[in-house]
Structure 1
Amino acid sequence: MSDTCTIPVSEPFTLHVSVIEPRLKHPTIFRYFDELAPGASFRIRNDHDPKPLYYQLIAERGNIFSWNYLQQGPAEWIVEIRKLDTDAGETVGAIAARDLRKAEVFRKYGIDFCCGGKKSLKQTCAEKGIDPATIEAELTAVERSGAPVENFDRWDPAFLSDYIYNKHHGYYYDEAPVISDLLDKVADHHGATHPELFQVREVFTVLLRELSGHFAKEEKVLFPFIKALVQAKQSGDLTALRSTFALKEPVQMMEADHEAAGELLEKLRVLTNNYHLPEGACNSYSLLYGKMENLESDLHQHIHLENNILFPKALELERGLRG
C-alpha cells in the first residue's frame, strides 16, 4: 500500500504592514494591489484596524476589490484583499440595472447589489456559499412573471439625476425626521428593557449626519455637473468643460460614502435583529421598525441607481466629450 502524499495549498502572500516605514505603507499596499491578477488576493497584517485603507482604496481604485477580515484584534488585524475578476460574468449590479425587479431576489439571499454591485454573480454566490443555479432559476422566474419593469439604463444621466433627487432624496427628507422622532419616543419608553435601542439611535444619528452631507454634495456639485455634461453633448459647446474638474474623483468619493452608509445600515440590521420585533412590542415600536426597514430598502435602490447606472453613464459621457 503506497503512502498518500498531501500537496499543501499555498496561501496568499501576507504583507506585514506594521513593520513598514509609515510614509511607505499605503504606496506599498497599493503597489501590491495593482500587481494582482484579476481574482488574485494578498493579505495585510497590522497592529490596528486598517479600515481607513479600505476607504482610500475605494476612492483611488474604485469598487474593484473585496475586503475580508480574517482576524479583528485585539492585538492584530488580518485582512484579505482580492482584486475582482471583471471577466467572471455579469455583475449583480448590471443584472439589477437591466431589471430592478431582480433586486428582490438578491435581497432575499442577502446579496449586496448596490455597494457590492461590481462583483459577478458567480463570485458573489461563491463567497456566500449559494448555489448559482438556485439564484439563476429565481432570476429567470422574475423575467417570466410578465410584471412591468422600468429600464433606468435607458434614461439619460440628467433625467436620472432628477429622478434620484425627486424620488430618493425627497423620500429621505420626508422620512428621516419622522423616524428620528419616533426612535426617540420608542427608546425613551422601552430603552430600560431593550437597551439596544440606545445603540440603534446612536448609529441612526450618525447615518443621518453622513447622508445629509452626502446628499448636499450630490445636489450642489455632482448632479449639476452631470447635467452640464448632458447639455454640452446636446449643444456641442465644450467650453465649460475645459475649466472644470474631472468626474472620476467626486464619483469615487460618492462611492466611498455609499460604502460607509452601507456599513451603518448593516449595523442597524444587526442591532435590530433584522428588524424583528421583540415580544410585546407596541404599535410605535412596530411603526419604527417598519419605517427603518423601508428607508433601508429605498437607500439600497438609491445607491444602486447611482453606483451601477448613473455614475458609469456619466463617466462614459465625459470620456466621450473630453476625448
Structure 2
Amino acid sequence: MEVINQNILDVTMLEPRQKHPTIFDRFDQLNDGETLTIHNDHDPKPLYYQLLGERGNIFKWEYTEQGPRWWKVNITKRSSEENGETIGEIAAKDLRKAAVFKKNGLDFCCGGKKTVKEACLEKGLDIVKIEQELQQANEAPVSASLPYNEWAPGFLADYIVNVHHAYTRKNLPEIRGYALKVLRVHGKEHPELAEIQRQVEVIYEEMMAHMTKEEKVLFPYIKDLAAARNQSQLHQAAHFGTVKNPINMMEMEHELVGAAMHKIRTLSGNFSIPEDACASYSLLYKMLAAFETDLYTHIHLENNILFPKAVEREKQITDNGSSCKY
C-alpha cells in the first residue's frame, strides 16, 4: 500500500513491478508547476533517465535527501514557458556558445539536460550576465571547427571511436601510472593525491568498460538505424528494446566519470602545480587537464548530438512501420 501525504509517494511500500508505472501515473496527473515527492531506500537515478527518455525534458529533479538510508526527490512538472532549449542543445548548435558555458563552469556535457536558467541557478551565476555573453557570442567569428552536428550518425560514431576512444585508450593508462607514482613519492606532503589516484582508477575502470559497450553494442545498432529504411531491415536485433535504454545507461556512466573528473579538478586546485612538484607531478596534472578537455568534447558529441540523432531515427523507423498498410 502506498503512503500518500501532500503528494508524497513512499516507493518502498510498492511491489517492484508497480514502482515505475505508479510513479509515471502520478507524474502524468500533475498540473504545470505541481510537485510529486518520492521516498526510496536507494538512489532513484535510473528513474530520472527513464522519465527523461519517455516524457522528455518537462520536469525538474531535486534531491532533498541523498542517503545513506533514504533518498527523497521532488519531481516538479515544468510549466510550458519553462520548456526551453537545454544547454546541451545550445552547445550542439553553436560551439561559440559552448565556449561561454565552459568559461563559466557550466557543464553542457553530463549536465546538458538543464536549461540555461536552471544551470545558472544551480551554480549561483547571474543569468542576465550569461544571457548577454551568449548574445555576444553570436557576433563572434565562426571558427573553422568541425561540423559535428551535420554529420551522419554512423560517421560521427566512427569519428568518436577513432579520435576520442583512441585518445582515451592511449592516455588513460599513462595517467593511471603517473597518478600511482606521484602518490607514492609525494603522498605524505600532499594527502589529496590519494583521493586523486582513487578517482583516476574510477575513471579508468568505467571508461574501459564503457567504450567496449559502445563499440560492440550501441554504435553498431546506431549504424543499423541510420542505414535501415524500416524495422525489418535492422540487421542487429534490439534485445535491449528501444535505443533509449542503452543510451540512458551510457549517460549515467558519463555522469559518473564527469563527477570523478570534477573531484580531481577540485582536489588539485584546478590542476595547479605545487612548488615542490617533480617532473612527473607536473606531467600528471598537465595530462589530467588535457584529458578533461578531450573527455568533455567526447561526452558532448555523444550526449548532445549522436544520441538524440539515434533516438529521432528510431522514432522515424517506428512511425513509418506503424503507418504501413498490409
Q: TM-score range by the shorter chain?
A: 0.7 to 0.9
CA shift for structure 1 position 225: 1.4
Aligned ranges for residues 274-285 of structure 1 at < 5 Å?
274-285=270-281
1:286 is aligned, of 282, 285, 303, to 282
Partners of 1:74 and 1:303 in 2: how far apart?
Answer: 29
Aligned to 1:54: 45
1:133 partnered with 2:128:
yes
Question: In structure 2, what residue type is equivalent to 1:158?
Answer: G
2:233 is aligned, of 232, 235, 240, to 240
1:210 partnered with 2:201:
no
Partners of 2:246 and 2:146 in 1: how far apart?
Answer: 27
Closer/same/farther in 2, CA of residues 85 and 300 from structure 1, 3 Å limit: farther
Partners of 1:124 and 1:110 in 2: how far apart?
Answer: 10
CA shift for structure 1 position 25: 4.9
Partners of 2:101 and 2:114 in 1: how far apart?
Answer: 13
Aligned to 1:303: 299
- Which range is displaced more, 308-317 or 137-146? 137-146
Partners of 2:66 and 2:222 in 1: how far apart?
Answer: 40
Partners of 2:69 and 2:226 in 1: how far apart?
Answer: 51
Question: In structure 1, what residue type is equivalent to 2:225?
Answer: L
Greater relative contact order (Cα < 8 A, sep 6+): 1
On the 8 A contact 2:192/2:267 being kept in 1, the answer is yes
Question: In structure 1, what residue type is equivalent to 2:46?
Answer: Y
Question: In structure 1, what residue type is equivalent to 2:48?
Answer: L
On the 8 A contact 1:44/1:79 being kept in 2, the answer is yes
CA shift for structure 1 position 85: 6.0
1:223 partnered with 2:214:
no
Aligned to 1:174: 170
- Which range is displaced more, 80-89 or 206-215? 80-89
Aligned to 2:161: 165
1:41 is aligned, of 35, 39, 51, to 35
1:259 is aligned, of 255, 259, 284, to 255
Aligned to 1:143: 138
On the 8 A contact 1:101/1:142 being kept in 2, the answer is yes
Structure 2: state its 5+ residue gaps.
Answer: 1-5, 321-326
Closer/same/farther in 2, CA of residues 72 and 250 from structure 1, 3 Å limit: closer
Partners of 1:219 and 1:284 in 2: how far apart?
Answer: 33
CA shift for structure 1 position 22: 5.5
CA shift for structure 1 position 283: 2.9
1:70 partnered with 2:64:
yes
Closer/same/farther in 2, CA of residues 173 and 79 from structure 1, 3 Å limit: same
1:60-88 Cα deviation digits (max 9, x unpaired): 64374544333445665443334566753
Aligned to 1:7: none
2:317 is aligned, of 294, 318, 321, to 321
1:184 partnered with 2:180:
yes
Aligned to 1:199: 195
CA shift for structure 1 position 118: 2.2
- Which range is displaced more, 184-193 or 271-280? 271-280
Structure 1: state its 5+ residue gaps.
Answer: 1-11
CA shift for structure 1 position 161: 0.7
Closer/same/farther in 2, CA of residues 74 and 178 from structure 1, 3 Å limit: closer
1:155 partnered with 2:151:
yes
Partners of 2:150 and 2:172 in 1: how far apart?
Answer: 30
Partners of 1:75 and 1:249 in 2: how far apart?
Answer: 27
CA shift for structure 1 position 34: 4.1
CA shift for structure 1 position 179: 0.5
CA shift for structure 1 position 273: 3.2
Partners of 2:195 and 2:110 in 1: how far apart?
Answer: 24
On the 8 A contact 1:97/1:151 being kept in 2, the answer is no
Q: TM-score, normalised by structure 2?
A: 0.82
Aligned to 1:3: none
